[in-house]
Amino acid sequence: MTLRGFYPIVDLEVLAQRGLEPVAFATQVLSARPPLLQLRAKSAGARDTLALLRALLPLARRAGTLLFANDRPDLALLAGADGVHVGQRDLPVSDVRRLSPDLRVGVSTHAPDELEAALAVRPDYVAYGPVFTTTSKADPEPTVGLAGLAWAEARARAAGIPLVAIGGIDIARAREVAATASLVAVIGALVPERDRADEVAERAANFSAAVG
């Protein structure tokens, strides 16, 4: 599968703030058939996270979408998910691959040195950001802007590794960002102010069309 296009992230904390149920939300997002979907469950326990991954997996399969867990390669393996996304403080890519050579791995980076280190271990993709100011993290790193993203894309392209743009990307900025990055990750901009499943599906379709 070519890793290119719209990369939605189902963030349980963001959804809880709006009173949205994760599986129902993900079902609407998956109607856009994105290449990847990530479950981010930073504050959930292992049992609840595993149950959600197992609930999402058949939905992702029907959409032809790869399912990634955030932070937890062990739960990704138990659920039968396709991959795991790790941050700078999580298990290193090399250790994830020792745990399971077949599990795909993406890694977050926020600065040039982190990006270079990540490219050296050749993950399946590398994320770089936040591109713009974001409210999806309590203590976000400094923004890298479009110029920083363009530099990161050049380095990732030279290494033959897809680059994911993340952080503060709304529909107005999506097309411009997609001109640089292979994948455009979206969190908060998918979430409506109220529980309207039709609006979630519409937002997902708009992002999918914008980033192609």
| Residues near 145 by beta carbon (within 8 Å), at least 6 away in sequence | 131, 132
For the entire predicted model, the pTM comes to 0.95
Print burial letters for 134-149: b (CB count within 10 Å at least 16), e (below 16).
bebeeeebebbebebb
- Can you tell me the distance from the alpha carbon of 181 to that of 199, in angstroms, rounded to the nearest whole number? 26
Contact 128, 166 (CB under 8 A): yes
Whats the size of the chain, residue-wise? Answer: 212
Beta bridge partners of 10: 39
- Can you tell me the distance from the alpha carbon of 55 to that of 10, in angstroms, rounded to the nearest whole number? 13
- Can you tell me the distance from the alpha carbon of 193 to that of 17, in angstroms, rounded to the nearest whole number? 9
Instruction: Return per-residue pLDDT of the chain as tens, 212 residues.
Output: 678 999 999 999 999 988 899 999 999 999 999 999 999 999 999 999 999 999 999 999 999 999 999 999 999 999 999 999 999 999 999 999 999 999 999 999 999 999 999 999 999 999 999 999 887 666 778 999 999 999 999 999 999 999 999 999 999 999 999 999 999 999 999 998 766 767 999 999 999 999 98
Angle, CA 140 vertex, CA 156 and CA 191 arms, to 5° = 90
CATH at 169: 3.20.20.70
Q: Domains in the chain: how many in total?
A: 1
Burial of 123 (0-12, 13-18, 19+ CB in 10 A): buried
Residue 1's pLDDT is: 61
Range of the domain at 165: 5-211
Angle, CA 30 vertex, CA 85 and CA 146 arms, to 5° = 55
Contact 145, 176 (CB under 8 A): no
